[in-house]
Amino acid sequence: MQITVTTLSDQIFTLDVSDDLELENFKALCEFEIGIPAKEIAITWNGKPIQEDKRSLSSYGIKHGDMLLLQHNRGAQGLQQSMPRQGGFDIDFSSVPIPGTSQQSAARNQPPDPEDPAYIRELLLKNPHELSLLRERNPELAEALINGTFEKFKDVLQRQTRERKEKEMERIQLMNADPFSAEAQKMIAEEIRMKNVESNMETAIEYAPESFGQVVMLYIDCVVNGHHVKAFVDSGAQMTIMSEACAERCNIMRLVDRRWGGIAKGVGTQQIIGRVHLGQIQIGKDFLQSSFSILKDQPMDMLLGLDMLKRHQCSIDLKRNVLVIGTTGTETRFLDETDLPGHARLNVGPMSPKAAEEEDELLAEAIHKSQTEQQATAGATSNTNTNSSSNTPSFPEQVIKPLVDLGFPREAVLHELTLANGNSQQAMGALFAKSLKVPDGPK
């Protein structure tokens, strides 16, 4: 027979049962359908409770097509409250709070708010995997979570949530206005591209998780002017550089040629103070010659660039974790991770927009300063040349022309004639002596 079951919350379902099915087994079927434990189910038929679990449904007079009322009893009090009162009324008092009881347990059972900053912060801190993904995908929020206060994390989270909702609203408005416009199509293409990027990143996380790990940089121990320095080996750098602080510590700032100042631009931008044209680096028992470009505000002490590595025919052997110096045949091991300087352990992620803006400002300031210094130098050189040319004595053209025809610059000829007091033979000898290559004679 078919029995229809209804609840006080207007849930209705139908069960196909046999006539001799016992009440406890019927409750078990109801538990499977609605999820309420069988021990907490009370059945009422025609306003009368059915309480004897071992009796069959037909013994109560229940037949095909009847409707039964199912109530959820929470404990002994719920069972008593589910009993009908005299007079035929059936009132459920289970949802009425009992005076004197605390509401904290009910509050704890409520699901957490997914937009609550405190809940999100706690969830991320408890999940290392999600925290690592946050570092990769949202470094600004990760920085506020790890190193900032709760208020800072809350501000960043709310700002990003607000921006994300505003962009979504703009997208919806644009799509509703004209989905075939150039702007809408451009936005759709960007969404498809980002989905491909996310899919590629998820694949990399699953099949190549090591690509998201931190790579230990290649450092070696060396000595410069009697001072120990941990040098970073970088075959991708064009020149060997040293920080201003390290140069002062090694007492070589007195050798810096500031005429070689400028701007170094690569992954970032830094100001070049000048250059030490020749210095010695002791690696193990070998003393190797190298030049140094001195950089201002450089975090690492020294970087061995391609100029030094090629000059001494160095090889980076990653299998044995050594640097082989080809000119001497010696080897030196790269430092272990525990021996690296502090800045070498930083896990550098994508640059935040604020950091990128600050980098652009520093680059513009450095370029402007360099241009100003170049203009000032050019002006001083021009004034010097003007003054020197005005003070340069005049010589007959028949004395100057033969020397110029030998291939020497006119300025150099005038300079040597001035030093030789107009003696063309003495000037000619000086010009040949100072030239790196004997110029060809007149044709």
Check: CB of residue 219 under 8 Å from CB of residue 340: yes
Beta bridge partners of 264: 270
264, 272 Cβ separation under 8 angstroms:
yes
Does the annotation mark 307 as catalytic?
Answer: no
Kind of pairing, strands 67-72 and 262-265? unpaired
Q: Which two tokens stand for residue 346?
A: 């930083």
Bridge partner list, 286: 283
Beta-strand (E) ranges in 225-268?
227-233, 241-243, 262-265
Q: Give yes or no for a contact between 41 and 71, defined as CB atoms under 8 angstroms apart.
A: yes
The span from the CA of 243 to the CA of 230, in Å, is 12
Closest CA to 262 of 293, 299, 306: 293
Q: Which residues pair with 15 in a beta bridge?
A: 3
**What is the identity of the amino acid at 34?**
I
Q: Which of 320, 332, 329, 325 is nearest to 308 (CA)?
A: 325
Which positions ≥6 away from 234 have C-beta within 8 Å?
218, 303, 304, 305
Q: Which residue has the tokens 């704890």?
A: 108
- Contact between 394 and 422 under an 8 Å Cβ cutoff? The reply is no
Q: Are 148 and 139 in contact (CB under 8 A)?
A: no
Let me know: does 318 contact 257? Beta carbons within 8 Å.
Answer: no
Q: Out of 53, 92, 221, 234, which one is annotated catalytic?
A: 234
Measured in whole angstroms, the distance separating CA 221 from the mean position of its chain's CA atoms is: 29
Instruction: Quote the CA–CA distance of 66 and 48 in Å, as a whole number.
Output: 14
| Nearest CA among 66, 77, 64, 85 for reference residue 18 | 64
Residue 236 phi/psi, 5-degree rounding, is -90, -5
Whether residue 50 contacts residue 43, with contact meaning beta carbons closer than 8 Å, is answered with yes
Q: Which residues are catalytic?
A: 234
